[in-house]
Amino acid sequence: MAPARPSHPHREIAWWGWGDPDRARSLPEGLNGLLRDALGVRDGRPAPASLEALQLTPVRLPAPAREALTAIVGPGHARADQEARVRHLAGKSTIDLLRLRRAGVLTAPDLVVTPASHEEVLALLSECAARRVAVVPFGGGTSVVGGLRAEAAKLAGTVALDVGRLDALVDLDEESRLAVLEPGLRGPEAEALLGARGYTLGHFPQSWEYATLGGFAAARSSGQASAGYGRFDERVLALRLATPAGTLTTGRAPRSAAGPDLRQLVLGSEGTLGVITELTVAVDPAPAARVYEGWRLPSFPTGAAVLRRLAQDGPPATVLRLSDEAETALGLARPGALGADPAGGGCLAIIGWEGRPEDVEARRAATAAVVRAAGGEPVPGAGEGWAEGRYSAPYLRDALLDAGALVETLETATFWSRVPGLYAAVSAALRNSLTEQGSPPAILCHISHVYAAGASLYFTVACAQLPDPVAQWRRAKAAVGDAILGAGGSITHHHGVGSDHREHYAREVGPLGMEALRAVKRSLDPEGILNPGILLT
């Protein structure tokens, strides 16, 4: 087949916050009083008035280097103007957004390049390696763990390599149910191209509207329908990686015993080993039916036991989520809502099924029997409300930051037997650290991804911003990292490592594991130009 590309230009994510600027939210009436009375929020910290008003570090990339890189991609695809530099200077973590809201000079890339082929990427990396210029691979810019904050002071400059022009559906193997895709496709674009042929990727993380396929692979993303379709890394069958040392291709069969699986070196590498320029992924026929339901369960432990029963013994679901009592009470179990849950009490589970109508109905009925046996009761409209609003929560975060609240999320994962201890340890670390700093928090949690052996825990925390909210959150996050490792959890389940988790990641994998990764990096990136300071110390 001839390569197919999106019919419309890539959507631009807001430079000052999340998503579509036209969908920015204001806080519901009365919430400002609640923030003041319950959390002590006082002073607002609104987003900057204009992109032009931001102060950026001076361009330090030498002119000969700029000219050489521009010659590779063409004059229209190498930019050093204010807008291009601002849009590529950071991701969308709370720390990233707080830095935009504070006076001071922001570290920004010297040049933004947008190559159109694997060969152009190779040439850019070769040129940058020769000139010792840092390269930060850039997809949708949705990292929430500092994955775009490279540490390049010892190099000659920094280039953001935007993969947005690598946006084709290259091939579709319907017999094997495989699609060959380029990394710059956003989630909706990939789904539209596949949907036109009757297929789905089945990957819908909260960042889906703006994140790219390359980013999904580089950060080991997990979508909200992971119970049915699996994580993104499980769906990647082959990869092509451009590195300063040349091209690495991995994967020629669904499974192989031909030595260690080199795909696993690329998946989760976060741009530190090379730039993904092509992915071969498993696809499924687009489901004829999608049904999502809400169920209220008596408690978080009871609900977790139900999710474990379904994950281990079935019937299989496509979506399995469970909010704790606090998240349920605030209405945040249904994205887009905020305020008291009118039903009150217990924990809200969202369960969804996708597939053939008769199969969906059979699994739905069997699941209802399991949930009812545990004391569950249906919550009319909750499933549909979750589906309609599942991409809206980050907009609320922006509004809360503007009001002066500190709002952030973090996630972890462990085996089922350790879930209660991990939940308690993280909650205590957040509460103690922030309270000791003078900003007692509200802490919410949900289980968003389940496996036969365990599950993820996703926390949301809100409190009043202190005069230095970046230092405030860093102190709390360090305490949480210690608690996660102490309770036997992983430092991240699907957000990635970035720079925020780097130190705790090194402790998780150990000194020998880190040295093995550094040895791989020395082979593929001898000059150390790729995303320095991210993932590896």
pLDDT 10s digits, 45-97: 788 889 999 999 999 999 999 999 999 999 999 999 999 999 999 999 999 99
Chain centre to alpha carbon of residue 317:
22
- Of 269 and 39, the structure prediction assigns the larger pLDDT to 269
Q: Which domains does the chain have, with CATH numbers?
A: 46-162 (3.30.43.10), 169-285 (3.30.465.10), 289-389 (3.30.70.3450), 400-497 (3.30.300.330)
**Least confident piece of the model among 101-105, 350-354, 528-532:** 101-105
Q: Give the model's pLDDT for residue 338.
A: 46
Percent of the chain exceeding pLDDT 70 equals: 98
- In sequence order, what E strands does 229-339 have? 236-243, 246-250, 275-282, 284-285, 289-297, 319-323
C-alpha closest to that of 350 among 237, 225, 439, 260 = 225
C-alpha closest to that of 73 among 136, 147, 160, 140 = 160
Question: For all residues of the chain together, what is the average pLDDT?
Answer: 94
Could you tell me the pLDDT band of residue 499, with boundaries at 50, 70 and 90?
very high
Q: Give the model's pLDDT for residue 525.
A: 98
Q: Give the model's pLDDT for residue 12.
A: 86
Residue 307 · residue 226 · CB < 8 Å: no
Asked whether residue 11 carries a pLDDT value surpassing 50, the answer given is: yes
> For residues 348 and 300, what is the distance between their CA atoms, to the nearest angstrom?
9
> For residues 411 and 206, what is the distance between their CA atoms, to the nearest angstrom?
13
Could you tell me the pLDDT band of residue 31, with boundaries at 50, 70 and 90?
confident
> For residues 48 and 401, what is the distance between their CA atoms, to the nearest angstrom?
12
Q: Which residues contact 58 (CB under 8 A, 6 or more apart)?
A: none
> For residues 34 and 481, what is the distance between their CA atoms, to the nearest angstrom?
29
Say how many C-beta atoms besides its own lie within 10 A of residue 175's C-beta.
5
Q: Which of 4-13, 14-23, 174-183, 343-352 has the highest mean pLDDT?
A: 174-183
Could you tell me the pLDDT band of residue 340, with boundaries at 50, 70 and 90?
very low
Q: Give the model's pLDDT for residue 336.
A: 47
pLDDT 10s digits, 431-458: 999 999 999 999 999 999 999 999 999 9
Task: Give pairs for 200-206: CB < 8 Å, separation 24+.
Answer: 200/283, 200/284, 200/285, 200/286, 200/287, 201/229, 201/235, 201/281, 201/283, 202/228, 202/229, 202/230, 202/235, 202/283, 202/284, 203/229, 203/232, 203/235, 204/390, 205/494, 206/390, 206/391, 206/393, 206/394
> For residues 88 and 84, what is the distance between their CA atoms, to the nearest angstrom?
6
Q: Which residues contact 97 (CB under 8 A, 6 or more apart)?
A: 16, 17, 47, 398, 401
pTM to 2 decimals? 0.95
Q: Give the model's pLDDT for residue 339.
A: 46
Q: Give the model's pLDDT for residue 342.
A: 47
Q: Give the model's pLDDT for residue 223.
A: 96
Q: Give the model's pLDDT for residue 181.
A: 98
